[in-house]
């Protein structure tokens, strides 16, 4: 079967290619892709090429497909998996495979025939044997695409740990009923973290979200109002730390004390140092944002490590159980991943979007791989609708859903957008 896919060919070299997929083996599955959410990790893989730890050294000769936050439909099932999957079934992928000897290999980075930025893919045995193909019964493809980033958030919350003096077994997870701050927390992943902190199984008593941009903070506050959080038992505060003594300000918000759990959502050394200074006794700092430079460093106060039990966790992705948790919470409408999405586009916008991602404002960029559509902000649908009735209707639909992407918007787009094959 022929596929169109954005592939990594080298450093700063990704291309929209058309090529033939091989026939599937008995231990593989053929599938299409409907949605792919573009991650900053894909940008890092694109600019680094084979220097990236997940990208093979020989991509110039054997390109790999980009994208790891995707959802689609099973088209053909190899005989080995006939008892577990069926044609027409929706699916999601857990890309963290943890293959012995190839621990960093993952769909979207390392494989020639599976990745999210494609119209059709072959799901290999490495995915199947680790039960990383997950059946999905939800009402919208985009939700399952965002299950992977949500699983990263869930994994980060689970990676936190605390201890009791003299006891050498860690208590895993955020401090239930404790104090938490999310630094640089008004971006797309920060919004997902706020949602999970408010509606997940363990909640802080106080949650403080920081950013240096009032527009982002105001949007976060409109999506998660403090009044609504209070009904869930959480005191929620939004703080702009620009131009201020952030440590003193944030400690004053917490009654003069440090925090039990500190999350850093931007790879900025002063922010990491700020997070370290905000830790309370037995506090855990989670460095969530992955840096693009291998020599990224920040100062940590080791006096407080020794005497106050300060400690650091780093998490990169979630596991299959975290994906299942994400899908289950979405299925019960406890969390809404649409809060992350600010832009929608088609396959023809992927190369440019991935390469320019750090300079494009807003949150998650959601791509529908079977259509042609310029990357467009949801806030710009009304303006674009003056010339294109497709955007006019999408503007009406998103306004009806509090400005958010929705199942209704997805269904309309898939029914009325121009197919990618007819655009060239």
Provide mean pLDDT across the span 13-33: 97
Of residues 400, 424, 397, 399, the one with CA closest to residue 413: 397
What tokens does 75 get? 């088209």
For 208-264, the pLDDT digits (tens) are: 999 999 999 999 999 999 999 999 999 999 999 999 999 999 999 999 999 999 999
Query: What residues contact 40, with CB distance under 8 A and at least 6 apart?
Result: 290, 357, 358
- For the chain, domains (ranges, CATH) are 1-145+336-424 (3.90.180.10), 162-314 (3.40.50.720)
Whole-number pLDDT of residue 98:
84
Does 293 score more than 90 pLDDT?
no
Whole-number pLDDT of residue 204:
98
Q: What is the enclosing helix (H) or strand (E) of 104?
A: none
CB 412 within 8 A of CB 388: no
Whole-number pLDDT of residue 423:
43
Does 121 score more than 80 pLDDT?
yes
Does 424 score more than 70 pLDDT?
no
pTM: 0.83
User: Three-class SS of residue 140?
Assistant: coil
Of residues 158, 181, 183, 286, the one with CA closest to residue 242: 183
Of residues 131, 152, 96, the one with CA closest to residue 337: 152
Does 317 score more than 80 pLDDT?
no
In angstroms, the CA 238 to CA 226 distance is: 9
Q: Is 294 exposed, middle or buried (0-12, 13-18, 19+ CB in 10 A)?
A: exposed
Q: Where are the beta strands (DSSP E) in 1-69?
A: 2-10, 13-20, 29-38, 64-65
For 50-69, the pLDDT digits (tens) are: 999 999 999 999 999 999 99
Find how far residue 92's CA is from the centre of its chain.
13
């Amino acid at each position: 079967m022929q596929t169109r896919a954005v592939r990594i060919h080298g450093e700063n070299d990704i291309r929209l290619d058309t090529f033939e997929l091989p026939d599937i083996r008995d231990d593989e599955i053929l599938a299409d892709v409907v949605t792919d959410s573009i991650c900053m990790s894909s940008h890092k893989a694109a600019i680094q090429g084979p220097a990236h730890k997940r990208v093979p050294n020989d991509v110039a000769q054997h390109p790999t497909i980009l994208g790891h936050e995707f959802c689609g439909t099973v088209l053909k099932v190899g005989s080995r998996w006939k008892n577990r999957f069926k044609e027409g079934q929706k699916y999601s992928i857990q890309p963290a495979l943890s293959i012995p000897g190839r621990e960093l290999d993952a769909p979207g980075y390392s494989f020639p025939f599976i990745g999210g930025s494609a119209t059709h893919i072959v799901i290999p045995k490495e995915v199947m044997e680790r039960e990383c193909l997950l059946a999905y019964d939800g009402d919208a493809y985009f939700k399952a695409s965002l299950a992977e980033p949500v699983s990263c958030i869930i994994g980060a919350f689970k990676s936190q740990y605390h201890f009791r003096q003299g006891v050498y077994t860690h208590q895993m997870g955020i401090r239930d009923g404790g104090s938490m701050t999310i630094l640089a927390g008004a971006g797309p992943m920060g919004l997902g973290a706020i949602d999970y902190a408010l509606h997940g199984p363990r909640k802080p008593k106080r949650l403080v979200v920081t950013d240096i941009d009032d527009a982002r903070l105001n949007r976060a506050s409109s999506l998660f109002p403090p009044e609504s959080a209070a009904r869930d038992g959480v005191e929620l505060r939004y703080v702009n730390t620009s131009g201020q003594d952030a440590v003193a300000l944030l400690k004053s918000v917490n009654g003069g004390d440090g925090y039990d759990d500190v999350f850093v959502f931007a790879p900025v050394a002063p922010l990491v140092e700020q997070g370290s200074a905000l830790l309370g006794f037995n506090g855990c700092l989670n460095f969530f944002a992955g840096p693009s430079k291998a020599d990224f460093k920040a100062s940590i106060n080791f006096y407080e490590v020794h005497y106050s039990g300060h400690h650091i966790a780093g998490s990169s992705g979630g596991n299959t159980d975290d994906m299942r948790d994400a899908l289950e919470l979405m299925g019960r409408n406890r969390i809404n991943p649409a809060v992350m999405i600010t832009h929608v586009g088609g396959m023809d916008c992927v190369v440019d979007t991935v390469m320019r991602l750090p300079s494009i404002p807003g949150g998650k960029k959601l791509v529908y791989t079977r259509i042609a559509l310029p990357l467009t902000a949801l806030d710009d649908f009304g303006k674009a609708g003056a010339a294109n009735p497709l955007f006019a209707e999408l503007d009406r639909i998103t306004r009806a859903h509090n400005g958010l992407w929705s199942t209704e918007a997805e269904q309309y787009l898939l029914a009325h957008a121009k197919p990618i094959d007819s655009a060239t």
